[in-house]
Chains A and B, each alone.
Chain A
């Protein structure tokens, strides 16, 4: 057993864990934060996506001990103190979900993805790798979100929600 101090959604938690426990299992089984989902436990589906210091990670491939002291944000903390994150509302409005099981991961991933895009990181479909600020086209959204599977096939609505949210953010 090792003692791990995690900081999740702005709150500190101290856990005694076997060192092989993943961040995902620590969140779900130890901290009761079941909004983060386990779809494959192999880093292949993205349902477990959370933000670590604002960057998206697959929490199933992360050992909890590696993330001691990092700022972890899960779907439960995405809204901060507000009534809800506008991207959550955009998902509902655009029907970017059906069964809901991939949804937490899609939303966390989209927030991380938009930060990556905003920081100028290119993707496989970015035309000019050296240009400042590639336009956030639907192709860019689809390419950058392709690590998050949705078996219900709500992809069109998810892209609509992300585009709508990103456009509103850009206007602010």
Chain B
């Protein structure tokens, strides 16, 4: 495998070329034992003396003003400590306006200042919180709070409002539309074309750990246990809302029981637990019910999309049109970039991309694994497959004929792109050549068999991260960074990286994470955490080795006297001049200098340091954006079986070949990529949040009625990584968290098309759509 000829080059260090002993190894995750023995404590599992419990009361109307609250019944329940409503809640500062100059301002899930207003903005918005001695008393009393409302008209039906969508704005962090040539004219003139409409329903993250918060005030100091994907945002947000200095707030989040984007923003439950603790003067815990999560935490937006493709008879794309309508809430939400991948995947001569938004009186939507690309690839990659059918071309061949050398919308260089290699390897491994193209032509007993492919694509990001590394005379290393562990295996991966950078055994490295007392980490989002921490960690290790060398050079008798950093390699617990040259161990250097340890830091958590870090981040982001397009990509190969009598679809075989750059830990990377594919299988076949079109109320707020994939739905998933580093990313990492969910739904729909001849354009592909 080779990288594209346009990729920039530089000399990689030994750790980058994978000659180290830890990076690349399929090591067991370091927190595996804590998680398999029940010892790992999640947000609702930290004991505090005098702990009280809280429960939410949700609005039963969609939009309106509260006209009265009767709390008498609730207050009479034995053990109830407080019923907090807008009539008696202390004032909180409102959520801040969003600004890209203050990234923490993005933290607000909604602009609603809960319990500081009599306004209701969506069906299920919290309107009261009950605090009691036990969880049972709090839950029971919450059901006794009587709220009366004056209802106001509400707009809740996405399908009905689609025609009223307005153009979506671009921002520094998000691409908007794009236009190259005249795509509509080219489409009209194309000898072969498809013009299709797709819809995707709302989805919910459904992390198995429901959102939970434990809040403890000590005077003006606040400690919060919370399963969050962004410790820094949460800390800054709570400090602002409750009017205390940021340094007074500590967020502890060593384990997050799944998140997938749903724990990125700060939602009502968190703020109201902190408020409840302040009102009662007690430590308070609130573990949301599963229904409570649906009512107060956003999910993935529904979408309606149009993809139109025009081609010459040989398959050359002359026109690519992709437009989308998605939704946000009236009080917030993320505008999804559903056409994102369509800027990058095909070298069409004429391109038109446009994204539109409707605002509804609904809980604000929020990022869910690959926001934009997960639903956007369904539409684009289904349409490409349909075009292949219309052309009578193999769908892989059609893609390869339109694989771009440069970014199609603006001619920028790809930092790295190996989609061709992914398809070539995948086709061989999967046995694609055995596929007969005619729909319904492959059978296994009574089952119709279908094979489908689709591309995966996700942009690569890098965020600021502050890191310290300390090396002790006993040879142990401690890496400190307040990043997040939701199952990605961050501590394991960073320990592998530090071990190779310093030339020490993996087992010698301990990584501390998940606590705002540590140097600020990046948020866990955009598949960027590992690369972001790695960049600062590698820099910190270089600094540390530099100061150890300086120590050695200052003292007489060191074999490192007169050596320069460039001459040395880190191995065997020390610095050595080449494979056979002289050198000495870190322990010897420290001992001679009379030191117990040495430490190096990258980034600063002072006020000035934070601002500098953010400015540096934004300028690097914009500079990189001008130069390159960076992304992870991949090729999905899927086999389905369809029962012609019942319309049941079973996924029977899967292969994903991915270009995610360097692989730090083959075992954990494969697991995470498989996880995205499993989520994509749910998105394709069984998941759907049902919204009552009359009042916007979610009708299936639970795991009995919202069907995530179970063991029986998931076949063995073959995952292969090309494992070639991207030269523009730290350690060559492109990020693995999201890319694998993109393209999955299209691969399944394409396989179903092959099995049955039917093109399902409205997810999920349920049996009724095949009968």
Please report A residues at the B interface, Cβ cutoff 8 Å: 18, 20-21, 25, 28-29, 32-45, 47, 74-76, 79, 84, 88-89, 91-93, 95, 97-104, 107, 138, 141-143, 145-159
The smallest beta-carbon distance between B302 and chain A, in angstroms, is 20
Q: How far is the CA of A95 from the CA of B665 in the complex (A)?
A: 12
Task: Assess the A102–B208 pair: CB atoms within 8 A.
Answer: yes
Q: Which residues of A contact B29 (CB under 8 A)?
A: 92, 95, 97
Q: How far is the CA of A4 from the CA of B324 in the complex (A)?
A: 58
The smallest beta-carbon distance between B679 and chain A, in angstroms, is 6
Of B136, B489, B677, B703, which is within 8 A of A18 by CB?
A: B136
Chain A proximity mask over B487-507: 1 for CB below 8 Å, otherwise 0: 111000000000000000000
Given A32-B47, A99-B486, answer yes or no on A40-B28 (Cβ-Cβ < 8 Å): no
Q: Chain B: interface secondary structure?
A: loop
Task: Assess the A99–B36 pair: CB atoms within 8 A.
Answer: no
Task: Assess the B675–A42 pair: CB atoms within 8 A.
Answer: no
Task: Assess the A41–B290 pair: CB atoms within 8 A.
Answer: yes
Of A41, A101, A146, A155, which is within 8 A of B289 by CB?
A: A41
Of B37, B205, B207, B714, which is within 8 A of A155 by CB?
A: B714
Chain A proximity mask over B683-727: 1 for CB below 8 Å, otherwise 0: 000000000000000000011100011111010110000000000
Task: Assess the B136–A21 pair: CB atoms within 8 A.
Answer: yes
Chain A proximity mask over B10-31: 1 for CB below 8 Å, otherwise 0: 0000000000000000001101
Task: Assess the A149–B708 pair: CB atoms within 8 A.
Answer: yes
Given A143-B711, A143-B712, A156-B717, answer yes or no on A88-B37 (Cβ-Cβ < 8 Å): yes
Q: How far is the CA of A134 from the CA of B708 in the complex (A)?
A: 28
The smallest beta-carbon distance between B261 and chain A, in angstroms, is 12
10 contacts between A and B (CB under 8 A): A39-B703, A40-B702, A40-B703, A84-B37, A92-B33, A95-B28, A97-B36, A97-B487, A98-B671, A100-B40
The smallest beta-carbon distance between B78 and chain A, in angstroms, is 10
Confirm or deny: B730 has a beta carbon within 8 angstroms of a beta carbon on chain A.
Answer: no
Number of B interface residues in the complex (CB < 8 A): 61
Task: Assess the B45–A34 pair: CB atoms within 8 A.
Answer: yes
Q: How far is the CA of A75 from the CA of B289 in the complex (A)?
A: 23
Task: Assess the A35–B38 pair: CB atoms within 8 A.
Answer: yes
Q: Which residues of A contact B716 (CB under 8 A)?
A: 138, 156
The smallest beta-carbon distance between B315 and chain A, in angstroms, is 34
Confirm or deny: B407 has a beta carbon within 8 angstroms of a beta carbon on chain A.
Answer: no
The smallest beta-carbon distance between A24 and chain B, in angstroms, is 11
The smallest beta-carbon distance between A54 and chain B, in angstroms, is 18
The smallest beta-carbon distance between A28 and chain B, in angstroms, is 7
Task: Assess the A142–B36 pair: CB atoms within 8 A.
Answer: no
Given A20-B136, A98-B671, answer yes or no on A37-B257 (Cβ-Cβ < 8 Å): yes
Q: How far is the CA of A103 from the CA of B255 in the complex (A)?
A: 13
- Residue of A20, A36, A149 most packed against chain B (CB within 10 A): A149
- Residue of B206, B208, B287 most packed against chain A (CB within 10 A): B208
Q: What residue of chain B has the Cβ atom nearest to residue A98's Cβ?
A: B487
Of B31, B134, B711, which is within 8 A of A146 by CB?
A: B711
Q: Which residues of B contact A97 (CB under 8 A)?
A: 29, 32, 35-36, 487
Within 8 A of A (CB), among B21-63: 28-29, 31-42, 44-45, 47
Confirm or deny: B764 has a beta carbon within 8 angstroms of a beta carbon on chain A.
Answer: no
Task: Assess the B135–A101 pair: CB atoms within 8 A.
Answer: no
The smallest beta-carbon distance between A162 and chain B, in angstroms, is 10
The smallest beta-carbon distance between A98 and chain B, in angstroms, is 3
The smallest beta-carbon distance between A93 and chain B, in angstroms, is 6
Q: Which residues of A contact B304 (CB under 8 A)?
A: none
- Residue of B29, B487, B668 most packed against chain A (CB within 10 A): B487
Given A98-B487, A101-B208, A156-B716, answer yes or no on A151-B260 (Cβ-Cβ < 8 Å): yes
Q: Which residues of B contact A39 (CB under 8 A)?
A: 208-210, 290, 703
Task: Assess the B711–A155 pair: CB atoms within 8 A.
Answer: yes
